[in-house]
């Protein structure tokens, strides 16, 4: 259910695009409305608005708004590229700034134990993959029709991301050793 909620604006965009005559501007308005509903729901329920929802809202209203105001679909077509550049930058900066702990280790370090070099490899893999997706998106935007791009975004970009995430999860758990419970947990269990 959470995944459906998280992908609600994306699903709304594709549903509107294919249901209403492949009108990218109408689909963009529907995506923006779905994003507003999503953020509104989180606020009403007093749930925190996490980075993924905030970033999606920023890109939806920023680039979607520009696409509508300037009547230029390139703004919405560039959304996956810019989002992937931000993702790549976040992964890169996590290794260079602060505790220099890779973002993947921060996210999964509680449930998986990897060597430091494996966390760095995984982080670099996400940087490379995000950059690959960003340039692949641009290639499709400038070499194929808008309708093909929408299908590519739905099946290509999302499909590749899902496949990469599954492969990453398998790789993590193949290399992971069990995380040792805290001594407090052990003494409390006795």
DSSP 177: B
Among 3-7, 15-19, 104-108, 179-183, the range scoring the smallest mean pLDDT is: 179-183
Sketch the domain layout of the chain as residue ranges: 1-77, 80-179
3-state secondary structure of 152: helix
How high does pLDDT run on average in the chain?
87
- The angle subtended at Cα 81 by Cα 31 and Cα 112, nearest 5°, is 95
How would DSSP label each residue in 113-139?
A: B--HHHHHHHHHHHHHHHHHHHHHHHH
Q: Is the pLDDT of residue 115 over 90?
A: no
pLDDT tens profile 149-161: 999 998 999 899 9
**What's the mean pLDDT in 162-179?**
84
Structure-token match 């099946």, residue found: 155
Question: Token pair of 139, please?
Answer: 């290639």
For residues 107 and 146, the model is more confident at 146
């Amino acid at each position: 259910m959470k995944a459906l909620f998280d992908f609600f604006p994306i699903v709304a965009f594709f549903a509107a695009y294919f249901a209403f005559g492949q009108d990218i501007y109408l689909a963009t308005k529907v995506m923006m409305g779905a994003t507003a509903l999503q953020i509104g729901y989180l606020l009403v329920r007093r749930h925190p608005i996490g980075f993924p929802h905030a970033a999606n809202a920023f890109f939806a209203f920023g680039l979607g708004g520009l696409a509508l105001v300037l009547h230029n679909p390139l703004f919405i077509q560039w959304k996956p590229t810019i989002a992937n550049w931000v993702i790549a930058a976040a992964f890169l900066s996590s290794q260079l700034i602060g505790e220099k702990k890779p973002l993947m280790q921060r996210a999964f370090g509680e449930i998986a134990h990897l060597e430091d070099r494996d966390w760095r490899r995984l982080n670099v893999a996400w940087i490379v993959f995000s950059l690959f997706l960003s340039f692949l998106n641009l290639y499709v935007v400038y070499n194929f029709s808008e309708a093909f791009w929408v299908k590519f975004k739905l099946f290509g970009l999302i499909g590749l991301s899902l496949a990469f995430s599954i492969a990453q999860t398998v790789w993590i758990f193949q290399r992971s050793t069990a995380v040792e419970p805290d001594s407090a947990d052990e003494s409390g269990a006795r």
